[in-house]
Chain A
């Protein structure tokens, strides 16, 4: 395991390098003067010239990349012209809420998906299966932003069960507390989780059915192992191992989907910041945000790989 971890960490290097190169290319390959792109349309010629000197923008591309990478490694992500403050500060400030939202949604989706998929497989071709299959199909066919709008319109605007937007209340008895946070988190997390849960449920069902058709399940049955034990001890465990990479992928979908949800719910996270930055063509901010989100995604996938390996003895051979 230790050797594998080392190997995976070493492999992480090239991926992160490639990732950073792409993020860098994002800004450098913009048609026109990158300095203009970085400083925004209202920059003075003096400031543009200054930036050219600062970033060595007149130098060859690889050299510029090296300079940029050096800066990134020192935590220097530049300055956002639209917000007029350091990119790093903004990104870090926004990272927390996004991770909270995406993490909650992912945990919710995993729990719902695994249970629904397993129940579906155990009762295959009967009504619990039909209902759950329909639900998961709905899940993966629903536009996340539409679902969010629906929930807001019904549960927040009309029924007033939940707050319409934001992360906390500015006044009221619970303002700023944990309960208040959860109250605000419920709808966004649920809308985000629904889709991922649909996909996880489908994959789990297929994996369970595949495992249930295996020779070792039949042999366990031939030894008199009770059905419940077969389903939940043998088949479920084997199915989970093959579902884990899918959960890792869902982390990507959830992080991406957060962009919509944060927009609808005015959640102060990275996603909304990115959309605003793109619309304002604040490329340095986009660059910083993408770099941070992509890096966390890579790390999440590393974790799911390690988890799968820990659960599957065959992978350790």
Chain B
């Protein structure tokens, strides 16, 4: 759309010299101020009888040329200053940036006005002024990007490679800053058009008889009451041009900045069969069957969690083990009803305390979350809102599900903090999240999750970011609290060591499927699925330095390249042709030991 708008204005302007137009500067006093659609003057004439259409096109050329030149100058100078400041740092940086600060201490347009005041009115001076005024913007953007790139390890690597400074700047730094410069350029050029037009409007830019869109507007201003088209037409052209340029700039930014890409998945709302609520308790806290969750991409659905069944009984602690990309975190978020587009739960049933969660209205889900399911997230650094104190967040969580007075909520919050063994709890209520260490924040996260003593606690790699010693403390805490309060625990991890510290039963995920499930001791002693075996063999164990770690060859399959048969078959040393043909089902081998492997059955027969 932006392209259309820009093209509609830029193309005729570019073609102005070859189009059959009247001379824009010929004055015909007998044909002053003709309205649009007059004979021979499509858009009418101005106060000197000049053809408006022709003047508009020629004026656009001037405006565009000035804006492009100004932006180019500003970008070039700003990039040089920004790179120099970031690369040399210290004194160079300090001097350049203080200079930029002073420039930025002036309101934008005012600085341009002052420069024109000194140099005198005129198009060339106005261009220079606008360029100069925009240098700080480019310089700061480039410097910021270059500084953060400086911290990147690939620049350290380039220095280790013995490359010279000039070469590092040219081949390592500049190519990575360039897209940003282009985006900045694209999003600035609209402004530039506006600014130069503004100066001309005030009579400080283009001088008669030369005209750009701004000066035409300025001249038309006095005729507003009598012949408004003389002023409004150039303004309209200016507006459409700038809207177009800004749209193009946005497009360029979206294309180059993956963070703001919008997905079209929002429109694809699943039709949910609204499951009947069953209030019969079957002695499970959680019963998941046939859960399939994935991502909508380019109109098709890519499952990342495939038909998972999971049962957790009261007070039980179950581990969900898998490597990255196995779908373990997605499973946790599905259980909490926190899948957001482009993610989508395609099918399956999730029953919490007998109540079906799929198809439940979001207001009901919201009341269940926190009260019956608690959640401890992985990254303690981003788990708490940095603008609220620990106490505010605790009290908020407490009062959401039950009416509590101020004092009562406060004393409950203190006792919660004490229960996760945070010393000096009443003072810590006033603490901000950033004042706490990672281990402390994770304790607060646990306190938040357990505020209403939920029946089920889902912990998603809660100790992965922590040091071993802190991890040990947090694991002890989790185990003790769950035991004391009879909370069932679904513990998501990649670490078998942590599993045996904490969990009674293990579910192993590979490529979104449960490949093996058994009691922890059974699984560790006698893993039946080749993936589980090899995964266990990969883990370095303390006290067994001579044990050779047998790496699993290859990579897990990507979502879109999943093999038709057993997902592990391409990496499995025991794979046979039949493994690759049809999907393998999960079947029981031994008491409560489920394995998804054709060979497991064979072994049994042989025995």
The residue in chain A whose Cβ has the minimal distance to the Cβ of B202 is A275
Please report the C-alpha to C-alpha distance between residue A222 and residue B451 in the assembled complex, in whole angstroms.
Answer: 12
- Determine if B386 is an interface residue (Cβ-Cβ < 8 Å): yes
Q: How would residues 365 to 382 of chain B score, 1 for a CB under 8 Å from any chain A CB and 0 otherwise?
A: 011111101110101001
Please report the C-alpha to C-alpha distance between residue A301 and residue B101 in the assembled complex, in whole angstroms.
Answer: 12
Please report the C-alpha to C-alpha distance between residue A277 and residue B118 in the assembled complex, in whole angstroms.
Answer: 12
Please report the C-alpha to C-alpha distance between residue A162 and residue B238 in the assembled complex, in whole angstroms.
Answer: 26
Q: Are B198 and A294 in contact (CB under 8 A)?
A: no
Please report the C-alpha to C-alpha distance between residue A263 and residue B200 in the assembled complex, in whole angstroms.
Answer: 13
Residue in B203, B235, B338 whose beta carbon sits within 8 Å of that of A150 in the complex? B235
Q: Are A153 and B107 in contact (CB under 8 A)?
A: no
Chain B residues with CB under 8 A of A279:
121, 203-204
Q: Are A283 and B117 in contact (CB under 8 A)?
A: yes
Q: How would residues 112 to 127 of chain A score, 1 for a CB under 8 Å from any chain B CB and 0 otherwise?
A: 0000000000000100
Please report the C-alpha to C-alpha distance between residue A286 and residue B238 in the assembled complex, in whole angstroms.
Answer: 29
Residue in B362, B377, B379, B387 whose beta carbon sits within 8 Å of that of A313 in the complex? B387
Q: How large is the interface on B (under 10, 10 to 19, 20 to 34, 35 or more residues)?
A: 35 or more
- Determine if B176 is an interface residue (Cβ-Cβ < 8 Å): no
Please report the C-alpha to C-alpha distance between residue A312 and residue B387 in the assembled complex, in whole angstroms.
Answer: 6
Residue in A140, A219, A224, A251 whose beta carbon sits within 8 Å of that of B400 in the complex? A224
Please report the C-alpha to C-alpha distance between residue A251 and residue B117 in the assembled complex, in whole angstroms.
Answer: 22
Q: Are A219 and B235 in contact (CB under 8 A)?
A: no
Chain A residues with CB under 8 A of B113:
256, 259, 274-275, 278, 286, 290
Q: Are A143 and B203 in contact (CB under 8 A)?
A: no
- Determine if B418 is an interface residue (Cβ-Cβ < 8 Å): no
Please report the C-alpha to C-alpha distance between residue A310 and residue B477 in the assembled complex, in whole angstroms.
Answer: 36
Q: Are A215 and B379 in contact (CB under 8 A)?
A: yes
Please report the C-alpha to C-alpha distance between residue A249 and residue B304 in the assembled complex, in whole angstroms.
Answer: 45
Q: Are B239 and A19 in contact (CB under 8 A)?
A: no
Chain B residues with CB under 8 A of A251:
107
Q: How large is the interface on A (under 10, 10 to 19, 20 to 34, 35 or more residues)?
A: 35 or more
Please report the C-alpha to C-alpha distance between residue A14 and residue B386 in the assembled complex, in whole angstroms.
Answer: 33
Chain A residues with CB under 8 A of B225:
153, 157
Chain A residues with CB under 8 A of B243:
137-138, 141
The answer to whether A298 and B105 touch (CB under 8 A), given A149-B217, A150-B235, is yes
Closest CB of chain B to A300's CB: distance in Å? 9
Q: Are B449 and A294 in contact (CB under 8 A)?
A: no
Closest CB of chain A to B99's CB: distance in Å? 8
Q: How would residues 227 to 253 of chain B score, 1 for a CB under 8 Å from any chain A CB and 0 otherwise?
A: 010011001001100110111001000
Closest CB of chain A to B144's CB: distance in Å? 13
- Determine if A201 is an interface residue (Cβ-Cβ < 8 Å): no
- Determine if A4 is an interface residue (Cβ-Cβ < 8 Å): no
Of the candidates B118, B235, B238, B396, the one having the most CB atoms from chain A within 10 angstroms of its own CB is: B118
- Determine if A257 is an interface residue (Cβ-Cβ < 8 Å): yes
The residue in chain A whose Cβ has the minimal distance to the Cβ of B449 is A223
Q: Which of A41-49, A61-69, A168-176, A233-241 contacts B (4 or more CB under 8 A)?
A: A233-241
Closest CB of chain B to A225's CB: distance in Å? 6
A-B residue pairs in contact (CB < 8 Å), sample of 11: A18-B102, A23-B114, A145-B217, A219-B375, A257-B109, A259-B113, A260-B201, A313-B387, A313-B389, A313-B434, A314-B432
> 10 shortest A-B CB distances, which residue pairs?
A256-B109, A224-B370, A146-B235, A18-B102, A215-B382, A222-B375, A223-B370, A252-B107, A224-B369, A141-B242
Residues of A within 8 A of B (CB): 14-16, 18-19, 21-23, 26-27, 29-30, 125, 137-138, 140-146, 149-150, 152-153, 157, 206, 209, 214-227, 229, 234, 237-238, 241, 251-253, 255-257, 259-260, 263-264, 274-275, 277-279, 281, 283, 286, 290, 293-294, 297-298, 301, 311-314, 317
**Contacts beyond the supplied A149-B231, A153-B231, A290-B114: 10 A-B pairs with Cβ under 8 Å:** A16-B105, A19-B105, A26-B114, A143-B197, A149-B224, A153-B232, A222-B336, A223-B369, A278-B204, A312-B387
